[in-house]
Amino acid sequence: MPRDNKSPLIQKIAKQASVTFKGFKCAANGDNNVVADKQSELISLVTAVRAADLKIAPRKTKASSAAAGLQNPPVTYMHICETEVFSMGVFLLPTGASIPLHDHPGMNGMLKVLYGKVSVRCFDKLDDDLTASTVLPHFEPPLAPFQTASLRRSVLRSVEEYSENSGPCLLTPVRDNLHQIDAVEGPAAFLDILAPPYNPDDGRDCHYYKVVHTVTEEGMDGKNNREQQGGEKEKGEEMWLLEIPQPEYFWCGGEPYPGPVVTV
């Protein structure tokens, strides 16, 4: 692609994202090396972006009051652009905010921190269907019979922290596709690129999950077992996820995007 030294960086990112993710549709035709090169170019551009490039000023750390919590959304989003190929915007997380565990069906994605720090826990779904004959472990707390249809076997793939100096966190339709994002040590913001965008009409709706814990066949106390299975799980460890409605404590508000106009 010809070098473009005049366009804002975010415009270059949008242009390259369009080229890259259009190429993903053609990868099955044998141009995998070309696609890899284009993705490498996009990663390079995204790695370089900073909050100042989007005219976004880092938010100050402040404790949120209960009254403010009733009025303000836990997370806000700045829409930059969207096509049939990809969407791009910025998520802003106040101190202590979290985006619950969720998926991106059939989608690729890039997450690049603009300021602050986030912790990202990534999971893969295991490709197997539960049937009536599947022997399930015992869960603590116990699940209702109707909930078993919403269980998914998964693997904890990674738990990493990202800052503005980190490269992007990547996801694919089969790798690191489920993740939870937590602001660490203050407010944070990150650029988010998804390809293709969420679209329930095309089977790309967002689903939420929670980790459910098992009790060993030896009858280990549920509390002790949860402590053993808690936050310090080993990467690659199999886990059970339960699909749940969008948590009541989480919703996303909108904010105007202050940066350079992007055309695609």
Per residue in 45-73, pLDDT (tens digit) is 999 999 999 999 998 876 554 444 557 89
Q: Which runs of consecutive H residues, i.e. helices, occur in 109-248? A: 222-229
73-216+237-255 — its CATH code? Answer: 2.60.120.10
Q: Give the C-alpha distances (Å, rounded to integers) separating 216 from 96, 150, 228, 232, 240.
A: 33, 21, 11, 18, 14
Confidence at residue 24, expressed as pLDDT on a 0 to 100 scale: 74
Q: Which helix (H) or strand (E) holds 19?
A: helix 9-26
Q: Which residues of the chain are modeled with pLDDT < 50?
A: 28-30, 65-68, 217-218, 220-231
Planar angle of CA 177, 181, 185, nearest 5 degrees? 155
Per DSSP bridges, beta strands 75-82 and 87-93 are antiparallel
What pLDDT does residue 232 have? 53
Widest distance between CA atoms in the chain = 66
Upstream peptide bond of 196 is cis (omega within 30 degrees of 0): yes
- CA 74/CA 99 separation, integer angstroms: 9
The pLDDT, as a whole number, for residue 223 is 46
**Where are the domains positioned within the chain?**
73-216+237-255
Cross-strand partners of 254: 77
Q: How many CA atoms lie within 13 A of 16 on its CB side?
A: 25
Residue 174's alpha-carbon distances to 25, 109, 259, in angstroms, are 16, 11, 33
Contact, 88 vs 14, CB < 8 A? yes
Angle value at C-alpha 37, between 36 and 42, nearest 5 degrees: 95
pLDDT at position 75 is 97
Distance of CA 159 to CAs 118, 169, 190, 211, Å? 11, 11, 17, 15
pLDDT at 26: 56
Tokens for 157, please give them: 């793939």
State which H helix or E strand residue 89 sits in. strand 87-93
